[in-house]
Amino acid sequence: MSQVTERKNAVGIQGLSWRECQKDIISLMSAEQVSTVQAIIPEILKGCSPTVASVVNPLISKTESKNDRVLLLSSDTLQKAFTKPFTARVNQFTALGLERVEAKRAAVICSLSEMNFVVTNPARAKERLYTAFSEKTGADTDRALKTLFHELNSGHTKVFTTTLASLFAKASVVSGFPNVTIKPLPLSEGVLVIAKNQSGQGLVSEISVNKMQKVNTTTEVVGIHDGSCEGVINRFNAEIKRLGVKFISESTRSTRGTVQHSANLAEKQKHVLERIRKLNQQRRAQH
């Protein structure tokens, strides 16, 4: 019986900062440069009003001292971390005498300084930040900020899923499947990791992203019919945990030979055809 492990809502990768996986990100995404929004905030502050800078600088200085090692978190986790203190900060800065628009800008900068939104196009991120902070009215600022966060979330999700795919590939190799292919899922932000051994048996991991930017994964054992599926999936899952990948929930079950996800169907069919071909070769050799 085949085995499948489903993981829901990735939180992040414990003990791994984006700097440590920077080379993998650049290689897998064909990116020329990888940076964080944190790194470009000092330059953005130069274009802000003295009032905003005066309330933000002391808070950012405290944040920088705490960010020696920042975990690579999912976009969904970062959004929650941003939303929770944002309104309170707007009210705090308004109470200090800032106009509402200026208070929002200050709150945005402080919140972004506490999280590691990763961008592969720092110049584009700077442009979006400058646009958001140069709008005159509250409504225009809100629209610009909405566009900014849409791009930040989308770009960061691509970085996160790419890094996740790299770790799933490493776990597959440790589990005995050294021939790994990583490819994007058509018409989505997802990634497919296909790992095989010399016998054509494999592990197929689908990394998907839903409309809420939550990252889910499904790993299925394919082409193994000798009862060792459970051991294979257990080794893989143990390695994923050792690599520090954290999800809200995880479950493993038998598939009874039924493919669980459409992205795995083509790979399952390939394994079935390969098995039939080898059986036919064996029968011909015996006769």
Instruction: Give the list of residues 6+ apart from residue 205 with CB closer than 8 angstroms, or none.
Output: 165, 168, 172, 192, 193, 195, 217, 218, 219, 220
Residues of the chain with CATH 3.30.310: 3-14+174-286
User: How many helices and strands, by DSSP H and E, does the chain display?
Assistant: 9, 9
Report the pLDDT value the prediction gives residue 259, as an integer from 0 to 100: 47
Please determine, looking at this structure, whether the domain spanning 3-14+174-286 carries the CATH number 3.10.580: no
Output the pTM of the full model.
Answer: 0.81
Instruction: Give the list of residues 6+ apart from residue 40 with CB closer than 8 angstroms, or none.
Output: 122, 125, 126, 129
Beta-bridge partner residues of 181: 194
Report the pLDDT value the prediction gives residue 272, as an integer from 0 to 100: 45
pLDDT tens series, the chain, 287 aa: 689 999 999 999 887 666 666 666 666 666 667 778 888 888 888 778 888 888 888 777 655 544 444 478 898 888 888 887 888 899 999 998 898 888 988 898 888 888 778 887 888 888 888 888 777 787 888 888 888 888 888 888 988 998 899 899 999 999 999 999 998 887 778 899 999 999 889 999 999 999 888 999 999 998 888 888 999 999 999 999 999 999 999 999 987 654 445 455 455 445 545 554 555 566 566 65
Report the pLDDT value the prediction gives residue 125, as an integer from 0 to 100: 84
Instruction: Give the list of residues 6+ apart from residue 215 with CB closer than 8 angstroms, or none.
Output: 9, 10, 74, 75, 76, 157, 160, 161, 164, 207, 208, 209
Strands 118-119, 179-184: pairing is: unpaired
